[in-house]
Amino acid sequence: MDKFIIEGGGRLAGEVEISGSKNAALPIMAAMILTSGKNKIRGVPQVRDVTTMLYLLKDLGGCTEEFNDGCIVFDSAGINNYEAPYDLVSKMRASCLVLGPLLARLGKAKVSLPGGCAIGARPLDLHIRGLEEMGAKIRLEQGYIYGEVKRLLGIRYYFDTVSVTGTANLMMAATLADGETVLENVAKEPEVVFLANVLNQCGAKIKGHGTDLLTIRGVQSLKPINCDILPDRIETGTYMIASAITSGDVKIINCIPQQVEALTMKLRQAGLVVEENETSLRVVGDGQLNGVNIKTQPHPGFATDLQAQFMALMALAQGQSIIIETVFENRFMHAAELKRMGADVTIQGQTAVVNGVKELSGAPLMATDLRASASLVLAALAAKGKSVISRIYHIDRGYSCIEKKLCSLGAKIYREK
In the complex with ligand EPU, the residue whose CB is nearer, 76 or 165, is: 165
| Sites for ligand EPU among residues 143-162 (CB under 6 A) | 161
In the complex with ligand EPU, the residue whose CB is nearer, 256 or 363, is: 256
129-168 core/surface letters (b: 16 or more CB in 10 A; e: else) = bbbeebbbebeeeeebbbbbbeebbbbebebeebbbbbbb
Rounded Cα distance between 104 and 131, Å, is 10
In the complex with ligand EPU, the residue whose CB is nearer, 13 or 366, is: 366
Within 8 A by CB and 6+ apart from 199, the residues are: 31, 34, 171, 172, 175, 206, 222
- Which of 15, 125, 184, 275 binds ligand EPU (CB under 6 A)? It is 125
**Which residue stretch of 119-127, 215-223, 251-259, 345-353 sits at the interface with ligand EPU (rule: CB under 6 A)?**
119-127
- Using DSSP's 3-state secondary structure scheme, residue 343 falls into coil
Rounded Cα distance between 385 and 362, Å, is 5
The type of residue at 6 is: I
The 226-228 sheet, strands edge to edge = 63-68, 71-75, 38-42, 226-228
| Sites for ligand EPU among residues 324-353 (CB under 6 A) | 327-328
**Which residue stretch of 163-171, 259-267, 308-316, 388-396 sits at the interface with ligand EPU (rule: CB under 6 A)?**
163-171
Q: Which residues does the annotation mark as catalytic?
A: 117
- Which of 21, 165, 247, 309 binds ligand EPU (CB under 6 A)? It is 165
Q: Is 355 exposed, middle or buried (0-12, 13-18, 19+ CB in 10 A)?
A: middle
Do 46 and 401 meet the contact criterion of CB atoms below 8 Å apart? yes
**Judged by CB under 6 A, does residue 305 bind ligand EPU?**
yes
Number of residues that bind ligand EPU (CB under 6 A): 23
Backbone Cα Rg of the chain: 21
**Judged by CB under 6 A, does residue 233 bind ligand EPU?**
no
**Judged by CB under 6 A, does residue 398 bind ligand EPU?**
yes
- Which of 6, 28, 31, 94 binds ligand EPU (CB under 6 A)? It is 94
- Per-residue contact flags (x/-) with ligand EPU for residues 365 to 384, judged by CB under 6 A: -----xx-------------
Contact footprint for ligand EPU (CB under 6 A): 23, 26, 93-94, 120, 122-127, 161, 163-166, 304-305, 327-328, 370-371, 398
